[in-house]
Amino acid sequence: MTDDGAEAFDTLMAAADPPLIVVTTAAADEQAGCLVGFHVQSSITPRHYCVWLSKANHTYRVSLRSKSFAVHFLTSEDLELAERFGAHSGEDTDKFAGLDLDHDEYGVPLLEACPNRLSLERISLLDDGSDHVCLTSRVRSAHTSGDFTPLRVSDAAHLDPGHESEERAIQP
Ligand SMILES: Cc1cc2nc3c(=O)[nH]c(=O)nc-3n(C[C@H](O)[C@H](O)[C@H](O)COP(=O)(O)O)c2cc1C
């Protein structure tokens, strides 16, 4: 792609300004979670959902050993949670410390402060050679407390990610 094309792409993505979620998962005795802007519904019948995890992230590494995930939709009140899960890594911080937590039947941590959420079962993991992998999933259940104003990528643009995507262990 040309430099102009790349700039246009970035402008279009900024205009789309997706809502932010926190994805959590667990494997054996390890739990993980990170802030995610790349996510979308991917089928109507049955209802499927995709999230993209950066290969640089601790959450990605734990996700390889798990089939179960929770997606928490953040509201405009949740900037602190966005910072906790998006600007720190589970490698060296316990992101869940001090939070009110529940766990679903698969051991996945649920953030009680975020009642708008999905429970997902991974179907496949697509690695197309880029810096993120796509997890496709079946929606096991969904819960909402009603209408909310989403926290969006533009609201969190000032955060420095706990891991930059270039930090992935295996370079192309
Ligand atoms: C606005 C914003 C959007 C982000 N979107 C994603 C994303 O779509 N997928 C992802 O894996 N990481 C994304 N990140 C980065 C991770 O949330 C961040 O690197 C986090 O600290 C990783 O934590 P972990 O190492 O404990 O998994 C985003 C960060 C920010 C600030």
CA of 143 from ligand 1 middle (Å) equals 23
Q: Are 39 and 71 in contact (CB under 8 A)?
A: yes
Which two structure tokens, joined as six digits, stand for 172? Answer: 């192309």
Which domains are present in the chain?
12-164 (2.30.110.10)
Question: Which range (14-23, 95-104, 144-153, 158-167) has the least confidence?
Answer: 158-167
Which two structure tokens, joined as six digits, stand for 123? Answer: 């179907």
Can you tell me the mean pLDDT for 84-110? 97
**How much is the pLDDT for 113?**
98
Burial group, residue 139, by CB count within 10 angstroms (0-12, 13-18, 19+): middle
Q: What is the rounded average pLDDT for all residues in the chain?
A: 96
* C-beta 58 within 6 A of ligand 1: yes
- Closest ligand 1 atom to 61 CA: 27
Name the residue of 21, 35, 60, 65 whose CB sits within 8 Å of the most ligand 1 atoms, as the mutation to test its pocket: 35
| Banded pLDDT at 117 (limits 50, 70, 90) | very high
CA of 2 from ligand 1 middle (Å) equals 27
Burial group, residue 83, by CB count within 10 angstroms (0-12, 13-18, 19+): middle
CA of 159 from ligand 1 middle (Å) equals 10
**How much is the pLDDT for 115?**
98
* C-beta 79 within 6 A of ligand 1: no
* C-beta 86 within 6 A of ligand 1: yes
pTM over 0.85: yes
**Would you call the peptide bond into 46 cis, given omega within 30 degrees of 0 as the criterion?**
yes
| Residue of minimum CA distance from atom 21 in ligand 1 | 162
**How much is the pLDDT for 69?**
98
Q: Are 35 and 80 in contact (CB under 8 A)?
A: no
Instruction: Summarize pLDDT for 53-80 with one digit per residue, the tens.
Output: 999 999 999 999 999 999 999 999 999 9
Q: Is the pLDDT of residue 172 over 80?
A: no
Query: Looking at this protein, which amino acid is placed at residue 50?
Result: C
Q: Is the pLDDT of residue 38 over 70?
A: yes
Give percent above pLDDT 90 in the chain.
92
**How much is the pLDDT for 33?**
98
Q: Are 151 and 79 in contact (CB under 8 A)?
A: yes
Question: Residue 134 forms beta bridges with which residues?
Answer: 52, 126
CA of 155 from ligand 1 middle (Å) equals 14
